[in-house]
Amino acid sequence: MDHVTRNHVLICEDEDHIRRFISINLSNNGFTVYEAASGESAIQSYSEHKPDVIVLDIMLPDTDGFEICTQIRAQDPSVIIVFLTARGQDLDKIKGLEIGADDYIVKPFNPLELVARIHAILRRTDNKMMPLRHVLESGPFRVDMNSNKVFKHDEVIELTPKEFQMLRSFWNIPIPHYLVMNC
């Protein structure tokens, strides 16, 4: 199964110049961006586009970002939510993270830091979501990761656990901790 790039971002920010600034920076870094200026339009845009990431302000004209976060998180536990807000009190940060935000950034902010934080969260979540490559092939060789068996021309090659671990390292395949400890 091929890995699908997750790069769709919804920005919910009521101040036009800030929203546009964020949008330009994310677009310049390879993201597809959707914009919303209110909580209601954010919910509508979320339903329509199903973005991978939501950059969310707390102080919105019709509702607060905490409520939007709660509503969207109830619908989709896997969507990434990053608060980007002027509210920098510790209690606001704690509340945002406790109701389901993945990160919390206080304005003023560096747009490159926002991009870096989104990339970091995507890396972590992509690694958890990426399926393990179960069978690898090269020429006459086939490695079955589920059974820990190696085949050459469809005949099993008997390997010790240590030899199999070495083979995995040659193919640059992560070795589960339980294999390392049992070798």
What pLDDT, in 10s, does the model give residues 37-77? 999 999 999 999 999 999 999 999 999 999 999 999 988 98
Q: Which domain holds residue 166?
A: 135-182
Going by their DSSP bridges, the two strands 103-106 and 80-85 should be labelled as parallel
**116 shares its domain with 160:** no
Domain count of the chain?
Answer: 2
**24 shares its domain with 111:** yes
**118 shares its domain with 168:** no
pLDDT tens for 102-112 read 999 999 999 99
Record the tokens describing residue 102, joined without a space. Answer: 């993945």
Whether residue 3 is contained in a domain is answered as no
Are the beta carbons of 98 and 60 closer than 8 angstroms?
Answer: no
**121 shares its domain with 144:** no
**76 shares its domain with 148:** no
**65 shares its domain with 48:** yes
Whether residue 105 is contained in a domain is answered as yes
Looking at the predicted structure, is the pLDDT value of residue 140 above 90?
no
**54 shares its domain with 76:** yes
Lowest pLDDT segment from 10-14, 36-40, 124-128: 124-128
What's the CATH code of the domain at 89?
3.40.50.2300
Closest CA to 85 of 104, 66, 64: 104
pLDDT tens for 144-166 read 766 677 888 888 888 887 777 77
**Global pTM value:** 0.67
**15 shares its domain with 79:** yes
* Bridge partner list, 32: 8
Span between the terminal Cα atoms of the chain, in Å: 29
Amino acid, single-letter form, for residue 119: H
Are the beta carbons of 49 and 71 closer than 8 angstroms?
Answer: no
**Who's near 112: CB < 8 A, 6+ residues apart?**
25
